[in-house]
Amino acid sequence: MTDRQLVVYSDYVCPFCYLGRVALERYEDDRGSSVELEWRPFDLRGHKRTPDGEIRTDVEDGKDDDYYEQAEANVRKLQERYGAEMAQTLRRDVDSWPTQQASLYVRETTPETWREFDEALFDALWRDGRDIGDPDVIADVADGVGLDADAVRSAATDDGEWDDRLRAAFDDAREFGVSGVPTWIYDDHAARGAVPPEHLERLIEGADASA
């Protein structure tokens, strides 16, 4: 198999990103080996942020009750298809900025543990219904995968280096043209959404076959 990486842009508060990770696990199980995954942050609610980082709930984004009802229906459909355990279909009250900041810190400082931490954060929100925007919850999740909880909590709440680096990562995603998540990229091929395992297989193995 190739040593090229599967890139994914995602945000922890996106249920389709969680379901996409479940689909990836299903594909890896069928394949019999893991995929080298490169995560890149994306701020799903960035258009609602004020300059000081707070999310405004009164910003008009064109998403009415009908939109959310359809989104929930789509989540439930994929949940059933992938056999995913979920405590809720949508979660609109969690700010993932500190979560992504902590994840970026772990990715850069303890890369060998990053994916386990990433999966544990997704599970904490979508399977267990926890508020992963809470630094104490982030620290508890970090402790659960063997990381230094205090260091991860500090990174999650840092308004210096790690805040700056996350902002830069969000800017990079926008400049690259990412407008929704999850967005998967492998070699010169891309897919968007919580695509099924067989789609990930075509994305990765089709690219490898043509290389």
Q: pLDDT tens-digit profile of 43-93? A: 998 888 888 788 887 777 888 889 999 999 999 999 999 999 999 999 999
The dihedral of CA 18, 20, 26, 30: what is its sign?
A: negative
User: Reading across the β-sheet that carries 189-192, which strands appear in turn?
Assistant: 37-41, 6-10, 183-186, 189-192
Q: Tell me how far apart the alpha carbons of residues 211 and 208 are, in angstroms, rounded to a whole number.
A: 5
- Other C-beta atoms within 10 Å of 210: how many? 9
The predicted pLDDT at position 154 comes to: 98
- Whether a cis peptide bond, with omega within 30° of 0, leads into 182 is yes
Instruction: State which residues of the chain have pLDDT below 50.
Output: 1-2
3-class DSSP assignment, residue 195: coil
Instruction: List alpha helices for 123-190, DSSP H.
Output: 135-144, 149-157, 161-176
CATH number of 6-210: 3.40.30.10
